[in-house]
Every structure is written in C-alpha cells, then in structure tokens.
Amino acid sequence: MMESADSKFRLVKMDDTASEHINAPKYSYWAAVFKKFLSKKSTIVIMVIALTVIFLSVFDPIISGYDPVVHQNINNASMKFLHPSLKYLFGTNDLGDNLWNVVWMGARNSLGIAFMATAITTTLGVVVGAVWGYSKSMDKWMLEIYNIVANVPFTLVVFVLMYVMGRGIWQLIFAMSVTSWLNTAYFIRVQVLIIRDREYNLASRCLGTSTWNIVKNNILPYLISVIVTSVSRDVPSFISMEVFLAWLGIGVGEKTPSLGKTISGNRTFMTNTPYLFWIPVAVSAVITISLYVAGQSLADAADPRTHM
C-alpha cells in the first residue's frame, strides 16, 4: 500500500453541489400513511375485525331475507329459545328468529345511524371550528355561546328533543348531531388556535394569500390527523349512545331493529337464556372497540410527525 500512498495525499477538488443532493426516495404523504398504518400486526388484525363486522352488517340482512316485521317462526315453539349451536351460531330468540340475523340487521341500522350522525357532526364541526379558530373576531362571541351551551347536559336535550319529535331514525340522528357538533367545533377550534400563528401561516399572510386559501392549504391538511381522531371517537360513541337511549326506551321507532333495541329488549332473558342478552352486548362491544382502535391507528398514521 505504500507505493501509491503518496498519490493518495494529493488534494482533491470538492464538488459543491454534491452535498445539496437528497438521496432519500421521494416522499408521498398518503403512501407514508398507508405504510405506517399497516406496520403493526395488531392494527391489521383489528382492521380485519372491523371490516368483517361492517361486511356482515351490510350483507347479512340482504342474503338472509330476515323480515323484522313478519316473524316467520312466531307460532313454531320448537324454534324458540334455541341455544347457540353450529346451525344457529347465535341461537334463536323468543320470537323464533335467528339471533344472528337480528343482530346483524340491528347492527346495520346502528352503524348507519352512527355514521350518519358522525358525518353531519364532523362536517359542521370542522367547517365552523376552522373559521372559529382562525377568526379572532368570531372567537370572541362564539366562545360566549359555547360556554353557555356546553354546560347544558346533553342527555336532557336529547330526551326533550326525542319527546317532542317522537321516535325514529332521523329524529335520533338529528338529536345526536345537534348535541355533538358544537363539541367537535370546539375541539377543531383549539387545534386551529395552536397552528394559527405559526410562522408558516404568517408567511402566507405576508405573501397575500387569502384567508380561505390559508384555511384550505395550510390548516386543513394539518387537521387531517385530528379529524380522523375525532371521527374514530364519534362513531363508537354514537353507537353506545344509541344503546343507552334504547335502554331508556327512546331512540329508533317500534318497527326498526337496532342493537340497542335488541339488547334492551332481551334484558328480561338474562336469567334463563342469558345468551340472548350477552351476545348482542358482545357484538356491540366488538364493533365499538374495533372501530375505535382502527380509527386511532389511522389518526396516528396520518400525523406527519410519525413518518420521520
């Protein structure tokens, strides 16, 4: 090595631009979200459970031909109170119906109600909350309104509304949305306040960007993670709310099946045929938890800080 050693001691010209190159592969936000989301095995398992649940809720009512109004086996005593078996996975109920079908139809309605209420709450909450957080003048009077309204117990309001409007799916969705959207708006407002005066927003103002464009391009993308979190909490929370309200005898109409109605209706069977009560409870729990966890994982993955 000594023979050519001296040649190695000659000065080498430096490439000025070499150090400016970025060697890492190009970054794409959604690709990174996807990758982060699927990185943990537990997340994939939960996702599968959540998707299965949704799948069953959507398709079982269609293929089973279960009719919640006309109970086919209502006069057939041998079909009633059958314990869970391979043929009837969830067993049958007091009316001779296959609990499996009852549960999934109820789940479909409960999920439908929850998603609908969430959609309304989130849209309204985000739009109002974003402007609320960004506009200092709006903040002043909106905060006063919020402080008063937020102190009214929501249960009371829902009761009153349902009492006035009567039972039914749309009445329920309305009541739940009306009492929840302000909370979402407040939550979004807080997040917007945090980033409102960050330097990159000040820079946009210096460059003459309109308020609308600042909200659209600077603030909303930052809020994606936050919005996903909010949705992932709202859906399970609305499902639970429906169950709770059904227990109290209000909520969906007489003829509409729902998880809450099933659970509430089956509580008299807790002593003799407990499966009729506990199975819908378990299904409700599985739906709630799996949606919540999957949503939280997605929210985490959507936060660009976790991509580094």
Binding residues (CB under 8 A) for another protein: these are: 5-12, 14, 16-22, 24, 26-27, 29, 198-200, 202-210, 213, 217-218, 221-222, 304, 307-308
Burial of 24: CB neighbours in 10 Å, binned 0-12, 13-18, 19+? exposed
Q: Give least dist CB 44 to another protein, A.
A: 18
Q: What distance in Å separates the CA atoms of residue 88 and residue 101, rounded to the nearest whole number?
A: 10
Specify the residue for token string 């000040």: 202
Q: Which of 23/271 has CB closer to another protein?
A: 23
Q: Which of 37/181 has CB closer to another protein?
A: 37
Burial of 178: CB neighbours in 10 Å, binned 0-12, 13-18, 19+? middle
Contact (Cβ atoms closer than 8 angstroms) between residue 246 and residue 258: yes
In 121-245, beta strands by DSSP E: none
Q: Give least dist CB 199 to another protein, A.
A: 4
Q: What distance in Å separates the CA atoms of residue 113 and residue 124, rounded to the nearest whole number?
A: 17
Q: Give least dist CB 14 to another protein, A.
A: 5
Q: Which of 19/78 has CB closer to another protein?
A: 19
Q: Which of 199/254 has CB closer to another protein?
A: 199
Q: Which of 43/183 has CB closer to another protein?
A: 43
Q: Give least dist CB 121 to another protein, A.
A: 25
Could you write out the three-class secondary structure of 14-38? CCHHHHHCCCCCCCCHHHHHHHHHC
Q: Give least dist CB 203 to another protein, A.
A: 6
